[in-house]
Structure 1
Amino acid sequence: MTGIAIIGAGVAGTALALALHENGIPCRIYEARNAGFDVIYGGVTITPNGCRVLDALGVLERVAPRCYKIESMSYKNDRDETTERVDRGSREKFGYAAHRMYRKELFDELKAMLEERGVPVMYGTKFERVVGESASEGVIFEVSGGRRQRAALLVGADGIWSSVRKYIAPSCVPEYTGFAGILAHIPTSSVRWPSDDFEFPCTIQGKPGSLVFLPEVPDQSTLAVIRQFAFPARERAGWEALQADKEHLFASFREGYEDWGATARSIIDQVCTRKEDIFLWPFHKVPKMDRWNSVTGRVLIVGDAAHALPPSSGQGANQALEDVYSLTLLLHEVLPELKTTTPRSTGLLTAALDFWNSWRHKRIDAVISMTNATNIRRLPEAERLSKTGNGKLNETLDPQQNEDWEKWMFQPDIDGEIVAWVQSHCRANAAKGSKI
């Protein structure tokens, strides 16, 4: 078989399949779970960089009517005074507002678009191992029951606990960051707001830490509410037990209750009346890897499999979308034969992936800097002041304070970067007399 085998039918895998199909590159998805598997409950924020990818794939116009549009995040103190605003999207500055939606809405739309285009998704088919890879055979791999399959390339989009990553970097395992989030949903109308025009989304910074809340739907009728805490590390069974212990989670969510202002207390009160609707999310990350592909370049990983970020980054899905879009454009430019056969040129593929890895690593490093700033903002007041002096972050601590950095993050010229590299590489090799 030719084309690209994708392992994992989450957002990264389905978006990659859609991008490849739109560029005429055959692909198929292998998913261990059965059709109709559960998607993580809650919303996802697609910032302008992610919106640009969804727009290019024709997805954004289909999901936009179900999205809450975000231009900035306001920060308030316990007296409901706005202390800071941080851009999260701007039609004027970046071309798009950020779009908040339930994760399932995005996932269902991607699946529907694949079905409309006839892209095969093999559910209940678990990836087992890579048997081998070569220029002549492509990648030979095994799925459920030891069945052998072949593809020109194999891309792991199988999440933070990726099986494909074990082939590329066996010693690379996810690390717990020391933090976990507790997430709940409440009706917006249930809260005693200080005014009818209270700004959303918002982070209230108080003595006990930060309380983050934002609408999940266009009419603002439902709020997602999040608090972030330091929790001791646990094995999987320990996290599952804590998730089941609703009383413990609510006690944690109420921590420092008397030190919050009136608005925050009203929100916490409403969270604690809905014991069935609370979710624990331990923050794990994937350690930095030298590269996200095998030596030959025929096995790759994208999204959370390559660089899982804590949810506080707000960029997990967005960086996955950047991954799949940029990778597809690059493959389309340098390996047009992927449309019909297994490419024999390993040199060109590895050179292209060296560029891709370098460029993508720079952007992930920048997201990590942004995430560190967000985590400082969410600390209890005493810790926040110890790191900032006055409670506010400067450009050294928070690159988002720099407008040029914001433009670089939220308005990347992915097409331009790819075309520029291809042209430069071709000129350099022409000068050397190389055919690759």
Structure 2
Amino acid sequence: MASTPLHSSGLPPPHRIAIVGAGLAGLSLTLLLSRVRSQQQPLHITILELRPRHAQDGGFLALAPNALHILDQLGLYQKLLPQGFAYEDIAFYSARNLSRIGRVKNGDVKRYGYPALRIGRGIVRGELLRAVEELATQDREEITVEMRFETKVVSVSEKEKNVILGLASGEELTFDAVIGADGIHSRVRNLVNGDVKPTFSGMLGIGGGRLDRRDIRPQDLSLPAMFMGKSNAFMMMPTSADGNEVTFFATMEVEERDREGWAKLGEDKQELKRIMVDRHCGRASEWPAVVVEACRSGKADSLSIWPHYNAPILESWTSSSNRIILMGDAAHAMPPTGGQGAAMAFEDAASLAMVFERSDTAEAFDKGVDEWQTTRQDRARKIKEFTTKSGDMRRTSPSVFQQIVKEWIMWLYFKVKGSDGGLAWVYEHKEKCPGDVKVKV
């Protein structure tokens, strides 16, 4: 006997769908839904985005194999590869003496099918956006896509047979389902679950720099590299395909600011440069020359910030009818220290699209959403636990002795876990996508 879904609307699978948010999660979901073939009715997707069409996404992503697999399924991997830096290993060094603590793989073509890819977030979103806009111009019977920018959602209400979105303009739009993919400060989440506020982890990332690899000494320094200092961690990573352009970022403990305060800090490039220089160039005994020189010579106008916020993994990512669904950072935002935020959004999108692929009845859709939520919540919790541990490793060591102890613990961990750092379960995961195809890397 088939099990009864936890949530049930009794309605046919939705075909008029609103996706709130045109970030990595919302755009990838749209493209993945365009591959669904089992729907009895055409899908009509409307994407609602608060920002303007040409809003810029700053910062960089480190896309692991589990993320690249899905981008490959979408036909975007080969387009992105020459726009970023492909690598497999990250070397960990002691900032005290440049001794190497260990090395861990972020990607492995032989084992996982893909390397890792360091690339600008704006580049990835730009390719996704272009693909969605191309989809929107196509005359296809099975799907239509409309994009609306500078559109603010102010209310969400469920009726007997549909969901109504109220916009700041006063307009009301009616859909069969609404997907909240609007990020860590999700408007949809707060309208459905009450005011769920993200909490500041106490950590801030400042990054940029645009250095020339040929100017970095020592020349035989293995990059990407993370330097473990007493007060914080400092990372150097190539970002161009040839490895000649190198950026850096530091993860440090700071006091929280409000959103206006963070925005003001992010715009003050000279202040960001001052913070980096003061923190890393004033303690000759703590940081090696390669870090000191990077902070001094890094270009101020390239610097950006990333405050590390957490949002709780909600008990439910759906409304009682399964017609309002949260995904990506709206459902499980986590700090970037594990390098899995974008990957989790892509995995959410692929697995949710598969629910649509496999659902031809109301019961099948409701059961599919329940199973999707259970499976994704379990993986998100495990990923978040790993991410939290990664962030804790970068926190301040109160003394040199404690710093040395931390380095020895890391050395032992890498020695015991091996080259994958115990993370094979993260990277070898290949989420099934609608219309899965075999691809050559």
Task: Give the TM interval when normalised to the shorter protein.
Answer: 0.7 to 0.9
Which amino acid letter does the alignment assign opposite residue 146 of structure 2?
P
8 Å contact 2:232–2:253 — kept in the other structure? no
8 Å contact 2:355–2:365 — kept in the other structure? no
Q: Find the counterpart in structure 2 of residue 434 from structure 1.
A: none
8 Å contact 2:105–2:421 — kept in the other structure? no
Farther-moved stretch of structure 1 (379-388 vs 247-256): 379-388
1:262 equivalent to 2:289? Answer yes
For residues 390 and 309 of structure 1, do their structure 2 counterparts lie closer, same or farther at Cα, with a shift above 3 Å needed? closer
Which amino acid letter does the alignment assign opposite residue 315 of structure 2?
D
1:193-227 per-position Cα deviation (integer Å, ceiling 9, x unaligned): 112x4321111123343210111110122222111
Structure with more relative contact order (C-alpha pairs < 8 Å, separation 6 or more): 2
1:183 equivalent to 2:207? Answer yes
Farther-moved stretch of structure 1 (249-258 vs 298-307): 249-258
**2: CA distance between counterparts of 1:27 and 1:101?**
29
Farther-moved stretch of structure 1 (235-244 vs 400-409): 400-409
**2: CA distance between counterparts of 1:413 and 1:385?**
42
Farther-moved stretch of structure 1 (258-267 vs 320-329): 258-267
Shift of 1:247: 5.0
Q: How does 1:252-291 map to 2 (within 5 A)?
A: 252-254=275-277, 255-257=279-281, 258=284, 259-271=286-298, 274-291=299-316
> Please, what TM-score do these two structures have when normalized by structure 2?
0.83
1:373-423 per-position Cα deviation (integer Å, ceiling 9, x unaligned): 32233234546964994524469989x93759523211224339xx9xxxx
Q: Find the counterpart in structure 1 of residue 356 from structure 2.
A: 331
Which amino acid letter does the alignment assign opposite residue 83 of structure 1?
I
**1: CA distance between counterparts of 2:271 and 2:81?**
37
Q: Find the counterpart in structure 1 of residue 367 from structure 2.
A: 351
Shift of 1:6: 0.5
Q: How does 1:13-412 map to 2 (within 5 A)?
A: 13-24=26-37, 25-39=43-57, 41-78=58-95, 79-118=97-136, 119-134=145-160, 137-189=161-213, 191-195=215-219, 197-254=220-277, 255-257=279-281, 258=284, 259-271=286-298, 274-333=299-358, 335-336=359-360, 345=362, 347-382=363-398, 386=402, 389-393=405-409, 401=417, 406-412=423-429
1:4 equivalent to 2:29? Answer no
**1: CA distance between counterparts of 2:29 and 2:388?**
28
**1: CA distance between counterparts of 2:151 and 2:291?**
46
8 Å contact 1:131–1:141 — kept in the other structure? yes
**2: CA distance between counterparts of 1:230 and 1:397?**
24
**1: CA distance between counterparts of 2:382 and 2:63?**
17
> For the aligned residues, what is the CA RMSD?
2.8
Which amino acid letter does the alignment assign opposite residue 46 of structure 1?
L
Shift of 1:182: 1.1
**1: CA distance between counterparts of 2:52 and 2:269?**
29
Shift of 1:94: 0.9
Farther-moved stretch of structure 1 (65-74 vs 77-86): 77-86
| Residue aligned with 1:277, SS | strand
8 Å contact 1:394–1:401 — kept in the other structure? no
| Residue aligned with 2:240, SS | coil
Farther-moved stretch of structure 1 (249-258 vs 359-368): 249-258
8 Å contact 1:3–1:152 — kept in the other structure? yes
For residues 275 and 190 of structure 1, do their structure 2 counterparts lie closer, same or farther at Cα, with a shift above 3 Å needed? farther
Which amino acid letter does the alignment assign opposite residue 409 of structure 1?
V
| Residue aligned with 1:146, SS | coil
8 Å contact 1:49–1:410 — kept in the other structure? yes
**2: CA distance between counterparts of 1:226 and 1:269?**
13
8 Å contact 1:22–1:57 — kept in the other structure? no
**1: CA distance between counterparts of 2:84 and 2:133?**
23
| Residue aligned with 2:300, SS | coil
Shift of 1:13: 0.9
For residues 168 and 276 of structure 1, do their structure 2 counterparts lie closer, same or farther at Cα, with a shift above 3 Å needed? same
1:137-182 per-position Cα deviation (integer Å, ceiling 9, x unaligned): 2322223422222222110111111110012211311111111111
Q: Percent identity?
A: 25
For residues 363 and 148 of structure 1, do their structure 2 counterparts lie closer, same or farther at Cα, with a shift above 3 Å needed? same
For residues 204 and 404 of structure 1, do their structure 2 counterparts lie closer, same or farther at Cα, with a shift above 3 Å needed? closer
**2: CA distance between counterparts of 1:387 and 1:213?**
20
| Residue aligned with 1:129, SS | strand
1:279-311 per-position Cα deviation (integer Å, ceiling 9, x unaligned): 222111112210211111100111111111112
> Please, what TM-score do these two structures have when normalized by structure 1?
0.84
8 Å contact 2:211–2:294 — kept in the other structure? no
For residues 186 and 407 of structure 1, do their structure 2 counterparts lie closer, same or farther at Cα, with a shift above 3 Å needed? same
**2: CA distance between counterparts of 1:278 and 1:62?**
26
